[in-house]
Structure 1
Amino acid sequence: MAEKKGLIVGGYGTVGSQIARILHEQNHDLQLLLGGRNPGKPLPFASPRVHSLFVDNTAADPLINAPKDLSLIINAVNDPDDRLLLASARRQIPLVDVTRWTERFSGAIDRLRSVDLRAPIVLASGWMGGTPALFGKMYADGLQEASVDIYALYSLHDKAGPDSTAYMNRMTIPFHVFEGSQTRTVLPMTEPRPVTFPNGFRAKCYRLDTPDHVTLVQDSSVRSANFRIAFDQTWSTSALVFLVRSGVWKLLGQKARQSILYNPGTGAAHHVTVQIEGRDQHGVLTRRQVEITDPQGQTHLTATGAAIQAQRILMEDNNLATAGGIFFPEQLADLREEQTWITRFFEAEGVQIRVRNQV
């Protein structure tokens, strides 16, 4: 079996190092390069198949030091000017990117229109590396006019990298949601819905702009997609709603916003509920609920979401590595045929998946 090389940009970080561990365990023929601006510091774990590489996403060519025979690049750190994105595309190297919130996500798609794509660019920047969207689409498969509603419970005690609160600067910006053939403009932290999460915690969840709104409705069977969030301390959700709706949030500086939303703890489980509704082939209204819990927290769930996209590209019997174009997480597999493999991949990482059919 031929040896492959994968580069994880941001591989020393909270998410990147976990992606590295997952892929290292899954692929015994894979050499991993962990890219960063300080490659001299100790590797997150020792292995003869793990090495460091100097990569700077702000440089004119971030891949100037990279080997020419890379099988895959995963980006787990901000790419502010799309330089890594474009460098990967022009070199025809498959890329999985988990770092873009909606505005930069859409901007990346626009920039790539002028590039002759001969390798896959996987924009996996939905919530937790696109994991809820992947399962949402999987269990919407076979339904007509389906709606997919994603609800996330954010723990204030969880670990988090500094890029995890990039959404805080979008809290006052209206965004569009799709409802059938129509679009509607909504505001963040509005239109609450009560949800009971897998751990039994019940909370009102509020709208937040994520790329899941954009990607899920690309499938003709999905008529609407929505994302809402709540914090695991009710007062935190209420306080954020007040700050946003009153206009105070808009007046706060970057440091003040960061101090409110970025206070990472030692770790906590991350819970997501995905509700799917649509009509089956007989026209019968069908409701399904997918409950996702990662005891290792949100960064691990993001890493697992990125890793499964990478694994699809690395698989020997898959022609995806040579498929040019832009892909979203829920587009990378024949979900009906690979449902068992996908579920087992997450469960092997300790992620708990429960599916309920609702009347």
Structure 2
Amino acid sequence: MSANTQKPVLIIGGSGLVGSQAAKALRRLHPTLPITIGGRDVGKAGAVAKEVGGADAVRVDLERADLGQPDARAYSAVVTFLKDDTLNSMKYAQAKGVPYVSISTGLFEIGPEVGRYVHSPASAPILMASSWLVGATTLPTLLFAREFESLETLQLAAVLDEQDIGGPAAYADLERLTKAAPNNLVLVDGRWRWIGGEEAKRTFTNVDGAQVAAQAYSMHDLMSLSAATDARSIRFDLAVGESSARRRGEPFSTEMVIELTGRKKDGTTGHTRHEIVHPGGQAPVTALGVALHVERLLGLAGGPPVAPGLYLTHMLVDPAYYVRKLEESGARIRRA
């Protein structure tokens, strides 16, 4: 462990549903890594820190440039689990020269983060991790794509059970991301288009064979997969409703369907469909994605610490490593 990673990882919103699970996932990966749970309620944060072990708690004030932290306080990374409209958490990480991870910024609202990075590009690694569940569709897609010579169409779909949205911060994110922008971005035959109304609707076959009504949803997956695959058409659709597990009378699950069409390495046209189901819902999947990316940023796996720069989820974590860890966490992946 490098000298920098002896300092704790600051998890802002770490006492929330997903943030607390991310802290525990990071602890399982690295039992001795110091972790600080940051939040408005120090008592609640302290209770999570005790559960995590080897962690402490601090009050974080996002209205302040120093986040309310004493000058002597130092961190190895800053991860925020809520929408920081002030960007003070990002500014703080840049000022300290440590990695910054955000997971709540919609594709249509990345301008302020990108502008802040461009202003100071050599200050810190900035990971815009607002892909679906922090890589849960992008990274498996890139692994599945390895059997293709070139890709023509990527169709991704996810089911978020209405009972699995998460805590207040997650609910606020979903409300903002689905209502603030009237249209959603898709790539159609090599051209980027904003679509709405009937054009934004799609019905897909879910993992249990049910026909599910979904809506185009602008996630960072589109940026990652376009850059990494050069596919001609890419679309991500989200259905918020009843998961297949709950239809069977079981607790909710989170579900993803990944369909690829392109030219195989033998020259033929091929189509693949993979289904991913996690019986624990979206929270453990999101938590795992954050933990694996923090691990990589700090150089605890996969190479040395990441240099300053602007990153998306597909640029840091190896897809095969991610999929292995996802399955170890309880996810079931099936080629249909």
TM-score band, normalised by the shorter chain? 0.7 to 0.9
Letter of the structure 2 residue corresponding to residue 24 of structure 1? R
Using the alignment, how far apart are the partners of 1:173 and 1:314 within structure 2? 38
Q: 1:318 to 1:153 in 2, by over 3 A?
A: closer
Letter of the structure 2 residue corresponding to residue 168 of structure 1? E
Using the alignment, how far apart are the partners of 1:189 and 1:163 within structure 2? 29
The CA deviation at 1:297 is 1.0
> Percent same amino acid at aligned positions?
23
The CA deviation at 1:189 is 6.6
Q: 1:343 to 1:185 in 2, by over 3 A?
A: closer
Letter of the structure 1 residue corresponding to residue 38 of structure 2? G
Using the alignment, how far apart are the partners of 2:112 and 2:198 within structure 1? 24
The question of 1:43 aligning with 2:52 is answered no
Letter of the structure 2 residue corresponding to residue 271 of structure 1? E
The question of 1:228 aligning with 2:237 is answered yes
| 1:59–1:83 contact (8 Å) kept in structure 2 | yes
Letter of the structure 2 residue corresponding to residue 352 of structure 1? R
Using the alignment, how far apart are the partners of 1:181 and 1:300 within structure 2? 34
The question of 1:168 aligning with 2:170 is answered no
1:194-209 equivalences in 2 (<5 Å) = 194-209=203-218
1:1-359 equivalences in 2 (<5 Å) = 1=1, 3-41=6-44, 42-44=46-48, 45-62=50-67, 64-65=69-70, 69-141=74-146, 142-158=148-164, 160-165=166-171, 166-169=173-176, 170-171=178-179, 173-187=182-196, 190-233=199-242, 268-316=252-300, 318-319=302-303, 321-335=305-319, 339=320, 341-356=321-336
Q: 1:134 to 1:66 in 2, by over 3 A?
A: farther
Using the alignment, how far apart are the partners of 1:140 and 1:343 within structure 2? 13
The CA deviation at 1:77 is 1.6
Q: CA RMSD in A?
A: 2.6
Q: TM-score, normalised by structure 2?
A: 0.85
Letter of the structure 1 residue corresponding to residue 230 of structure 2? S
Using the alignment, how far apart are the partners of 1:98 and 1:267 within structure 2? 26
| 2:35–2:54 contact (8 Å) kept in structure 1 | yes
The CA deviation at 1:293 is 1.1
Q: 1:205 to 1:66 in 2, by over 3 A?
A: farther
Task: Give the aligned length.
Answer: 321
Letter of the structure 2 residue corresponding to residue 98 of structure 1? I
The CA deviation at 1:20 is 0.6
Aligned twin of 1:263:
none
Which residues of structure 1 form unaligned runs of 5+? 235-265
